[in-house]
């Protein structure tokens, strides 16, 4: 069988193009999967942030029952909450959201520090349950943030390393921001030296 040289060349080119297309499809799907992971991880943070907003009015009411005259601290918590709620909750506003949440965490910290001075408040069963829920929600926000940042790191690594960076550029995969708390006291955490 004698094939014309031009036909052979055409076949080789076609095979090459097919291989490139397959390569691009695999990388593209990988990037999309990682981007969806980022969105899911962000949703996890969002659920916990909302849960904290829901718990705070309850907490403020309970504390008011025992320490109504600590208006300043209570109002600071309410204000911080209102401000945090106002910031749009999507991955694009991660940095601003993080800042507002940092303030809220600080205000709550002051409120719980204050409760130490009121033995009756500390003995209140409802307050105890709220404190456990808020402590846990705080932890959950922290762990969700840790998971989100790990996920973003994986996405950003694929987005910025060759050859997937070419595909990411061609299909306009946007940069995702890390969720970093601005407040130093909250941030002090994961500096474990491995």
Partner 1 sequence: MIPPRKQTPRPLSAAEAIARAAASHPSRPAAPVIPEAARLAASAYPSSITYLDLIRRNKRESALLVAAMIALGVLLGALIGGALGPYVQGINETRRGFQALYTVPAGGAADEMLEHYATTLDDNRERVDSAPLRVLGADTGVYRDLAVLLPSILTGAGVALVASSLAAAWAWFSGSSAILAMSGAIPISHSDDPQLFNVVDEMRIAAGLPMPRVYIINDSALNAFATGRDPEHAAIAVTRGLRERLTRDQLQAVVAHEMAHIRHYDIRFAMLMATMVGLIVFACDAFLRIAFRGGAVHGHGRSRRRDRAPVGGFAIILLVLALVLSIIAPLLARIIQFAYSRQREYLADAGAVELTRNPQALADALAVIADDPDPMVDTANRGTAHLFIVNPLRKMARAHQSLDTIFSSHPPIQKRIARLLALMR
Task: Choose which of 143, 153, 169, 180 interacts with partner 1 (CB under 8 A).
Answer: 143
Query: Shortest gap between Cβ of 10 and partner 1 (angstroms)?
Result: 44
Of 11-19, 21-29, 84-92, 180-188, the window that binds partner 1 (rule: CB under 8 A) is 180-188
Burial code of 117-156, b = ≥16 C-beta within 10 A, e = fewer?
A: eeeebeebeebeebbebbeebbebbbebbebbbebbeebb
Task: In whole angstroms, give the CA distance from residue 162 to residue 164.
Answer: 5
Of 5-13, 17-25, 69-77, 111-119, the window that binds partner 1 (rule: CB under 8 A) is 111-119
DSSP annotation string for 150-192: HHHHHHHHHHHSTTHHHHHHHTTPPP--------HHHHT----
- Of 32, 34, 36, 35, which is closest to residue 24 (Cα–Cα)? 32
Task: Choose which of 126, 135, 157, 161 interacts with partner 1 (CB under 8 A).
Answer: 135
Nearer to partner 1, 22 or 40 (CB): 40
133 near partner 1, rule: CB under 8 A:
yes
Of 8-16, 19-27, 75-83, 129-137, the window that binds partner 1 (rule: CB under 8 A) is 129-137
Q: Identify the helix (H) or strand (E) that includes residue 109.
A: helix 94-115
Task: Choose which of 11, 129, 166, 170 interacts with partner 1 (CB under 8 A).
Answer: 129
Place of tokens 């999309």: 32
Task: In whole angstroms, give the CA distance from residue 73 to residue 59.
Answer: 12
Query: Shortest gap between Cβ of 141 and partner 1 (angstroms)?
Result: 9
Site residues for partner 1 per CB under 8 A: 37, 40-41, 44, 48, 105, 108-110, 112-113, 116, 129, 131-136, 138-140, 142-144, 146-147, 151, 185-186, 188-194
């Amino acid at each position: 069988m004698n094939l014309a040289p031009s036909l052979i060349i055409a076949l080789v080119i076609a095979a090459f193009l097919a291989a490139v297309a397959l390569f691009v499809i695999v990388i593209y799907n990988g990037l999309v999967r990682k981007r969806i992971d980022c969105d899911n991880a962000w949703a996890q943070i969002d659920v916990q942030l909302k849960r904290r907003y829901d718990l705070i009015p309850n907490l403020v009411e309970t504390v008011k029952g025992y320490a109504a005259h600590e208006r300043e601290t209570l109002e600071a918590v309410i204000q911080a909450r209102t401000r945090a709620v106002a910031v749009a909750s999507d991955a694009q506003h991660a940095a601003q959201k993080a800042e507002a949440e940092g303030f809220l965490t600080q205000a709550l910290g002051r409120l719980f520090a204050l409760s130490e001075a009121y033995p009756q408040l500390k003995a209140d069963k409802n307050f105890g349950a709220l404190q456990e829920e808020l402590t846990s929600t705080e932890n959950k926000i922290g762990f969700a943030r840790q998971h989100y940042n790990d996920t973003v790191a994986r996405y950003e690594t694929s987005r910025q390393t060759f050859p997937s960076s070419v595909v990411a550029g061609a299909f306009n995969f946007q940069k995702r921001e890390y969720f970093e708390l601005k407040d130093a006291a909250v941030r002090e955490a994961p500096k474990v030296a491995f």
